[in-house]
Amino acid sequence: MAEAAESPGDPGTATPRPLMRDLKAVGKKFMHVLYPRKSNTLLRDWDLWGPLILCVTLALMLQRGSVDSEKDGGPQFAEVFVIVWFGAVTITLNSKLLGGNISFFQSLCVLGYCILPLTVAMLVCRLVLLAEPGPINFMVRLFVVIVMFAWSIVASTAFLADSQPPNRKALAVYPVFLFYFVISWMILTFTPQ
């Protein structure tokens, strides 16, 4: 279910699908998000492994408190998961209700992969937070988050906007804006205890 691009032909051969091919496909999609071009790769060969990896990484990095204590970041971990997946599903439903001709999983794929810039922003923020706190610290993090937020928006609209009729593009794009804004907000307001 999570991948496309199966080799057609006689199922009588029934050879197992090669793992390297799937890993390379995931890597290729990460590259496409980092350098967004007009291409169909994210849409045609969709898979949800990238979004899963990014979601888990983001949730792990957004932990407060130490990992071994009683009140470890359990609820926050589940919270990030729910926000990302529920948000992506809601945007997809919105896009489909507006008459977009993109399939459910393709849309989830694009939205999930475009979280990559924000995950990078989270990584940078965590590193910056190791330095001493202060207004400069905050300004640096703000700048990084804003840049990565813009990058996510540009990358996802490059893929999603084409699926909508021209007069509906703004209606389809603003929930994407909200979605990445919420994630950016979580990243910006994160403070480790």
Partner 1 sequence: MLQQDSNDDIEDVSLFDAEEETTSRPKKSKIRHPVASFFHLFFRVSAIIVYLLCELFSSSFIACMVTIILLLSCDFWAVKNVTGRLMVGLRWWNHIDEDGKSHWVFESRKASPQDSKTVSEAESRIFWLGLIACPVLWVIFAFSALFSFRVKWLAVVIMGVVLQGANLYGYIRCKVGSRKNLTSMATSYLGKQFLRQTTGDDQTS
Tokens 């948000």 belong to which residue?
Answer: 87
Under the binding rule (CB under 8 A), the answer on residue 2 touching partner 1 is yes
Query: Rounded to the nearest 5°, which phi and psi values hold at 30?
Result: -60, -40
Only one of the segments 59-67, 89-97, 119-127, 151-159 lies at the binding site for partner 1 (rule: CB under 8 A); that segment is 59-67
Under the binding rule (CB under 8 A), the answer on residue 102 touching partner 1 is yes
Rounded to an integer, what distance in angstroms lies between the CA atom of residue 34 and that of residue 46? 17
Q: In this structure, are residues 183 and 148 in contact, taking their beta carbons and an 8 Å threshold?
A: no
Closest CA to 52 of 109, 121, 125: 109
Rounded to an integer, what distance in angstroms lies between the CA atom of residue 147 and that of residue 142? 9
Least spacing, CB of residue 84 vs partner 1, in Å: 11
Least spacing, CB of residue 11 vs partner 1, in Å: 4
Under the binding rule (CB under 8 A), the answer on residue 39 touching partner 1 is no
Least spacing, CB of residue 103 vs partner 1, in Å: 4
Q: In this structure, are residues 67 and 23 in contact, taking their beta carbons and an 8 Å threshold?
A: no
Only one of the segments 3-11, 27-35, 152-160, 178-186 lies at the binding site for partner 1 (rule: CB under 8 A); that segment is 3-11
Rounded to an integer, what distance in angstroms lies between the CA atom of residue 185 and that of residue 193? 18
Residue from the set 24, 34, 64, 78 that interacts with partner 1 by CB under 8 A: 78
In the complex, the residues that contact partner 1 under the rule CB under 8 A are 1-4, 6, 8, 11-12, 14-17, 19, 22, 43-46, 49, 52, 56, 60, 63, 67-68, 70, 72-75, 77-78, 81-82, 101-103, 105-106, 163
